[in-house]
Amino acid sequence: MGKTVTEKILEAHLVEGEMVKGKEIGIRIDQTLTQDATGTMAYLEFESIGIPRVQTECSVCYVDHNLLQSDFKNADDHRFLQSIARKYGLYFSPPGNGISHQINLERFGKPGKTLLGSDSHTPTGGGLGMLAIGAGGLDVAMAMAGKPFYLVMPRVYGVKLTGRLSPWVSARDVLLELLRRLSVKGGVGYIMEYFGPGVKELSVTDRASITNFGAELGATTSVFPSDENTLKFLRSQGRESGWLEIVADSDARYDEVVEIDLSALEPLIACPSSPDNVVKVREVAGKPVAQVLVGSCSNSSLRDLVVVAKTLAGKQVSSEVSFEINPGSRQVLENLTAMGEMLPLIHAGARVHQAGCLGCIGMGQAPATGTISLRTFPRNFPGRSGTKNDQVYLCSPEVAVASAITGKITDPRDLGAYPSFSLPETYLPGDSRIEPPLPDGSGVEVIRGPNIAPFPAFAPLPETWKGKVLLKAGDNITTDHIMPAGAQVLPLRSNIPAISDFVFKALDENFSKHARETGSSMIVGGENYGQGSSREHAALAPRYLGVEVKIVKSFARIHKANLINFGILPLTFVNPADYDRIQQGAEVVIPHVRQSLLAGAETLAVEIDGQAVEASLDVSARHREILLAGGLLNWAKGN
């Protein structure tokens, strides 16, 4: 039987286990990336491993999230990251240079390679034919130390593309259509692999927009084949020597298949407050808009900004709209300027910001109270924008610019003819600010500001666990609910005692106070618990506060892995109806839990207020050892 692109890359990197669906495997990681919001902790973890240099082919440290320097914290962390990169042999991309995923695509990505990143949108690299996976910082630290990355062998969801996109419809609409059909948990347990005749109609930046936004399906990652379009992109970047053709065999089989006719798509939009709340733009057209943002790791490429500039030529942004541009990289800015496309943006009234994530992570650009904000971003979780009760819609650059002109949600097809444009055959590199690794960093001193706190120590799992239900949450709890983003919280990412004050603040203003008073505690949750960001702080900070067990209906992949990494027992209800009879504040006992893990038990008896609840523990043998040790770092030091 033939092989998919996914199977070919996994097979070439397999170092432990067998490629049997549902079984744990270990793969070799070629490249890693970190961004500053997760990277500070990842490098503290890497330091604790105690090796002198990263062991990957290529590791890059980016600063793209915490760009506001309202006090010393972010600036201190940036110096810390630069000195870490110099000492341990990483590339360093400084603040203002651009978004990690956009730059990695431009400068470092290679077809057929594996990439592990401490950011959930790392699958962007799949647009280049990489197997690019988001993970917690501790997993990335282990990969930088030369250790395998472990994952459950995923199923492969084939997405067959036919036809070609119509004018005013873009790659963004492909993933919006998938989210409409499959939901934010439709990709859990799968790698999404694109194939079919429609693939050749999509450029690498189109594909990268799809694989980036594909993180919102809950998928392990997404991947396109590496073909002539891939070669064309690498040639434009002066990197054609890194090209490798990787396509699925003609008789490859997929576990599931969904087909999308590109020519049948029309402009789509995700309504508040979930990426899968998708409708046709025409269904919500006419709603007044106060803010429109184009950028983020999903849609900040040169192609996206040229479309916006061409559409704005000779026009003005509505006086009722704050229209803002967040370029993906300095390369994008440099080429946009060289092409003469910056002037239309300026003349139309756009606010052009530095290259970075900015409003996508709640770092500024919060919308006004009670107003609609249209964004080409990948997420619109409640309050993520920085404004309470926000109304954030997710759309393509075409819908965004059309709406900015009219001041209301607008189907861009109403503007008339689609603007014609072409992109450079060879791009200006725009990457002079990237620092290459030093040949020898042994003499470099790591610079640590006062906001960097020591990594907390955690005790091993006890023989019998006792605690309380500290919080009962519902379905689709995101990592933003657990550990908020935003300008107030993000600068504390390297200070676990300080950032823990914000845990679950969106659900319970006094959660951290109650947690400190309670000691050992358990969280109860519904379906798809922990969806969204890869931020390991959503596991690490609760663990610091005494949260040692979570029992839910189902987990999002990355969050479950992070819970295990920090010694939090991830349980699921055998009978989901048991969720309804658990009350917040209940007393919990898990007898002989250590013995049960050692014996390989797949279910545990959990006593909640004296009533028995059967819970499933779906983890590998290696995970059991990690949980017994109290976390991955404890386990690694003992092995």
pLDDT of residue 269: 98
Q: Which residues pair with 270 in a beta bridge?
A: 278, 394
Please give the torsion angle defined by the CA atoms of residues 560, 561, 564 and 570, in that order, rounded to the nearest 10 degrees.
20
Catalytic residue list contains 170: no
> Which of 303, 330, 379, 624 is the catalytic position?
379
pLDDT of residue 61: 97
Q: Number of H helices and number of E strands within the chain? A: 21, 26
201, with CB counted inside 10 A (0-12, 13-18, 19+), is middle
Catalytic residue list contains 592: no
pLDDT of residue 484: 86
Walking along the chain (639 residues) 10 residues at a time, the average pLDDT comes out as: 96 96 95 93 91 97 89 91 98 95 96 96 97 94 96 96 98 97 94 98 97 94 98 96 96 97 98 96 98 94 96 96 96 96 96 90 88 94 87 97 98 96 92 93 94 87 96 92 84 88 92 94 95 87 96 93 94 95 94 95 94 94 95 84
Catalytic residue list contains 249: no
DSSP state of 466: E
> Which of 36, 64, 173, 480 is the catalytic position?
64
pLDDT of residue 37: 86
pLDDT of residue 455: 82
**CB-based burial, 130-155: b 16+ in 10 Å, e otherwise:** bbbbbbbbbbbbbbbbebbbbbbbbb
**In the chain, what are the domains?**
5-264 (3.30.499.10), 268-415 (3.30.499.10), 465-637 (3.20.19.10)
Catalytic residue list contains 379: yes
Give the C-alpha distances (Å, rounded to integers) separating 459 from 542, 559, 593, 628, 630: 14, 21, 15, 9, 5
pTM reported for the whole predicted model: 0.91
> Which of 30, 119, 304, 411 is the catalytic position?
119
> Which of 180, 481, 535, 537 is the catalytic position?
535
pLDDT of residue 158: 98
Catalytic residue list contains 206: no
Catalytic residue list contains 620: no
> Which of 203, 322, 533, 554 is the catalytic position?
533
